[in-house]
Amino acid sequence: MDLNQTAGSDYDVLVVGAGSAGLYGLHLLREKGLRVRVLEQGSGVGGAWYWNRYPGARLHSESHSYQFFFDPELLEEWDWSELFAGQPELERYFNRVADKHDLKKDIDLDTRVVSMTFDEGADIWTVRTDPERTYTARVVISATGPLSAPIYPDVPGLDTFVGESFHTARWPREPVGFAGKRVIVIGTGSTGVQIIPQVAKEAAHLTVLMRTPNWVVPLNNRVLDVHDMASIRAGYPDLRKYLATTFGGFLHNPGSRPTTTYAPGELKELYETAWQGAGFTKYFGMPYDVLADETANRHFADFVAGKIRARVNDPQVAELLIPDHPFGAKPVDCESAVYQGDGFGYYEVFNQDNVDLVRISVNPILEIVAEGVRLADRVVEADLIVYATGFEAFVGSLNRIDIRGVGGMALRDRWADGPETYLGIAVSGFPNLFMIGGPHGKGGHDNSTRCAEVPLQWIADLAEKVARQEYRRVEPDPAAERDWTDNVIAAGNANLMSKAKSFLYGDNVPGRPRRYVAYIGALPAFVDRLRQVEADGYAGFVLTESGPESRPKSLSE
Ligand code: NA7
């Protein structure tokens, strides 16, 4: 029999978002024989790698550690061209996954979810979209991405500028040329650090408007040849297991030997070796105390500051670029352009005659005007403004949807003082709604595909129980939710990351209260917790069982 004749809904599960998590979620749910529809606001799949198509957009995780591991055939077939793949290759990869598994037939593109309403009588979610369509399902899985709701500077006049302007996360598909143009880049986070060298090598003039400098390290990317791929491929079985044991699903994991046990010369050598290493070697691959202890952190930060001073010719400019927060207090940025000797590093940009750096914390942006940006002391004229100003992370993509749970409660009201979740996966009062990549869940600023793998399997198992009406409703017990939220916030506040403002604390968004919105625990501990919750009969959840009469016949017989 058709499960949905009894279920009374169009679908068993609706998934919002066709990024990496949405695609894997769809695959898992279809394997279970469930009727699934994915709703995606973009015109293509790939999520972050569909939207962030600005020049320089690139992975911080090694390509082979970031890919999916569920399809052995694809692992054999797919060759990565660079150790850290760029956006075009990643978009091709996710399209390849979707095509190979025929996922696109279950995805509605160009479909933005506007509202979700829980029908308490029927225990069914009604989802409305733009363009106007209505879908119903027992379960909704939000896979909207932790960094997908772009923010712009909160200054007047954004619409008055007569030139071109783009947020990096809304970059057009058609190439945008920089040659001969006067360009302003606002923002020097990971995105700004990636695009600034690309602009600087072509633009007639570039003005970088920097509010806070951050620590930037070389990515040390390289091209992968057939021999590299052969040896990477030979390691796949062990790699998948290893990545499940690391803190953030990265290849790099904090060392257990603290810096205090190294002789000064040994430590210097360790720093230098790490500096030459790939990607996050010098972030998550350092002795553990570098990211945990202020003295160890300052020592390493001084080393990095020395690197900046050595590369920036003008000492005053170098000092402007050296952060005063601990190393890693804001997520560390990687300069992606330095490899194969092309010489275009982030810091070298500030030696170029066509580049100006303005620290807007002392010379603020007053407004955007027709000809450019008005600062406190002058107007900077431009042909193109690039907003590399980041995201309302974790909660933004959910809060931009009108989500109504039990009693018509709006999720955005419920979270007015900051999000509350259980396991980063569910919210009390919003039954049968599960989140991946939302607040307080593992994966927000980690190797996201690795960190989402087990949670998605876990969510899919639970979603199946609801879809098959083993449970009519699944939602957190408010006490368990309170406990999880309090613990996550306490851990976030006890960390060195609390020494800076960032999207991890929500205070990069004007008017938002500072409250930790990410998750600081290690991946293995998070996975253990999920498994324990399941083994204990979904401890911390309130499970409303269905009577036999409401179950699909095929299951209740
Ligand atoms: P980030 O890391 O949040 O960086 C945003 C940048 O934009 C940062 O330098 C901000 O300065 C700056 N910003 C934000 N709002 C303004 C205003 N109003 N005026 C001036 N400057 C502003 O976002 P990214 O996109 O770079 O990176 C996000 C993640 O994507 C990254 O960690 C990777 O995981 C991939 P601030 O530091 O707040 O003073």
Answer whether 184 contacts ligand 1 (Cβ < 6 A): no
> How many degrees, rounded to 5, is the angle at CA 63 between CA 59 and CA 64?
155
CB neighbour class for 168 (10 Å; exposed up to 12, middle 13-18, buried from 19): buried
Q: Of 429 and 342, which is predicted with more confidence?
A: 429
pLDDT score at 344 = 66
pLDDT digits (tens, 9 = 90+) for 21-42: 999 999 999 999 999 999 999 9
pLDDT score at 557 = 31
443 pLDDT tier (thresholds 50, 70, 90): confident
pLDDT score at 556 = 33
105-114, 340-349, 490-499, range with the lowest pLDDT: 340-349
Query: Please, where in the chain does CATH 3.50.50.60 lie?
Result: 3-45+103-149+393-553
Q: Give the closest residue to 541 by CA, choosing from 532, 553, 554, 528.
A: 532
Q: Which two tokens stand for residue 323?
A: 């952060």
pLDDT digits (tens, 9 = 90+) for 225-266: 999 999 999 999 999 999 999 999 999 999 999 999 999 999
Atom 29 of ligand 1: nearest residue by CA position: 190
Please answer whether residues 174 and 167 qualify as being in contact, where contact means their C-beta atoms are separated by less than 8 angstroms: no
pLDDT digits (tens, 9 = 90+) for 476-520: 999 999 999 999 999 999 999 999 999 999 999 988 889 999 999
445 pLDDT tier (thresholds 50, 70, 90): confident
Q: DSSP readout, 175-219?
A: ----BT-EEEEE--SHHHHHHHHHHHTTBSEEEEEESS---EEE-
207 C-alpha to ligand 1 centroid (Å): 16
Instruction: Compute the mean pLDDT over every residue in the chain, rounded to the nearest whole number.
Output: 94
pLDDT score at 337 = 61
pLDDT digits (tens, 9 = 90+) for 152-190: 999 999 999 999 999 999 999 999 999 999 999 999 999
CATH number of the 3-45+103-149+393-553 domain: 3.50.50.60
Does the pLDDT value for residue 459 go beyond 90?
A: yes
pLDDT score at 127 = 98
Please answer whether residues 14 and 140 qualify as being in contact, where contact means their C-beta atoms are separated by less than 8 angstroms: yes
Answer whether 508 contacts ligand 1 (Cβ < 6 A): yes
Please answer whether residues 424 and 519 qualify as being in contact, where contact means their C-beta atoms are separated by less than 8 angstroms: yes
- Please tell me the distance from the alpha carbon of residue 113 to that of residue 93, in angstroms, as a whole number: 25
Answer whether 153 contacts ligand 1 (Cβ < 6 A): yes
Atom 37 of ligand 1: nearest residue by CA position: 212
- Please tell me the distance from the alpha carbon of residue 232 to that of residue 220, in angstroms, as a whole number: 17
The Cβ of residue 374 has, within 10 Å, a number of other Cβ atoms equal to 18
Q: Above pLDDT 70, what percent of the chain?
A: 95
pLDDT score at 7 = 56
426's enclosing H/E stretch is none
Does the pLDDT value for residue 221 go beyond 80?
A: yes
The residues, ordered by sequence, that sit 6+ positions from 238 with a Cβ below 8 Å of its Cβ are: none
389 C-alpha to ligand 1 centroid (Å): 4
Mean pLDDT of the region 351-360: 97
Mean pLDDT of the region 415-435: 97
pLDDT score at 548 = 60
330 C-alpha to ligand 1 centroid (Å): 10
